[in-house]
Amino acid sequence: MGGYGAIRNGLKYNTRFAGIIALSAALIPYKIANASPDFTHNSMRQPYFQSVFGDLTKLLGSDKDPEALIKQLAAADKQLPNMYLSCGTEDFLYDVNLRYHQFLLSEAIEHTYKEKPGDHTWEFWDEGIEDALNWISALPSTKE
């Protein structure tokens, strides 16, 4: 599913999940919203993003926007799943993961954020998943 999908679905269906693990998440909605037809991000072009997200002019504020989902849940005083985010400092998605971490801090949303040297590779994820699984195994079996 990927890190973006874990965050999006974990927040959209917040009563079904006690925790979200996102490694190197593609938290790019704010970068691709209103993208021009010649827009490219990491060799992916605007038509690809449109096929994934639909009308990009309606992306921000939608249920495909992880920041909007956080704000909607917080405004409705809904329980948020525990969140674990991790990204390598050399990953092409590092800037958007750091931005989301800073957004969560600004909204006073509890979460775990880890960064360390590494790229968007299986080597980074193989090392990171062990820590993430230890984190999730320590969560209570039911939300309190």
Q: In the block, which residue shows the tokens 């880890």?
A: 114
Indicate the pTM of the whole model. Answer: 0.89
What pLDDT score does 18 carry? 87
Q: Answer whether residue 142 is part of any domain.
A: no
Could you give the number of structural domains in the chain? Answer: 1
Q: Answer whether residue 32 is part of any domain.
A: yes
Domain limits for position 71: 2-137
User: Within the chain, what is the greatest distance between any pair of CA atoms?
Assistant: 48
Q: Answer whether residue 143 is part of any domain.
A: no
CB 60 within 8 A of CB 33: yes
Residue-by-residue pLDDT tens, the chain, 144 positions: 599 999 999 999 999 988 999 999 999 888 888 777 787 777 777 788 888 888 888 999 999 999 999 999 999 999 899 999 999 999 999 999 999 999 999 999 999 999 999 999 999 999 999 999 999 999 887 654
What pLDDT score does 8 carry? 97
Q: Answer whether residue 27 is part of any domain.
A: yes
CB 87 within 8 A of CB 93: yes
Q: Answer whether residue 144 is part of any domain.
A: no
C-alpha distance from residue 25 to each of 66, 75, 76, 109, 121 (Å): 11, 24, 25, 18, 12
What pLDDT score does 31 carry? 84
Structure tokens at 78: 């809904």
What pLDDT score does 1 carry? 56
Q: Kindly report the CATH number assigned to the domain that includes residue 108.
A: 3.40.50.1820
